[in-house]
Amino acid sequence: MGFIDPDVVFSLHFISIMAILVGIVGGVATIMGPAVGAFIMVGLQETFRSSFFGLAPKWISQGHALVFGLLVIFVILFLANGVVGDWKKIKRNVFRVRESH
């Protein structure tokens, strides 16, 4: 088991960045966007913090900032309205669901 690092948990810099990332990833123009963004971002954060549930080397847990940055760039470029705002686009492209007109 690990320990709680006060510099990480209570860092205003980290909390501010995480709040912005939650809104960007989930979508700021929807009610459910920030909740979905929080689910995604906290899930990723905890997965990295646990070094992929103990399956990966410890050094991989330090790569969370890189993955968060790449995720934000991807969302800004391809999902401008966030995950919730562009859900139909995601369904169409990822799940290959055809919409009936």
State pLDDT tens for residues 63-79.
777 888 888 899 889 88
Domain of residue 12, residue span: 6-94
More confidently predicted of 35 and 7: 35
pLDDT in tens, 4-32: 766 666 666 677 888 888 999 999 888 99
Q: Is 54 left (phi over 0), alpha (psi -120 to 50) or beta?
A: left
- Considering the domain boundaries, does residue 13 fall inside one? yes
- Considering the domain boundaries, does residue 1 fall inside one? no
86 φ/ψ angles, rounded to the nearest 5 degrees: -110, 30
- Considering the domain boundaries, does residue 57 fall inside one? yes
pTM of the shown model: 0.70
- Considering the domain boundaries, does residue 99 fall inside one? no
User: Per the structure, how many domains does the chain have?
Assistant: 1
The predicted pLDDT at position 96 comes to 75
| The two three-digit tokens of residue 7, written as one number | 């510099």
CA angle in degrees (0–180, nearest 5) for 15-18-21: 155
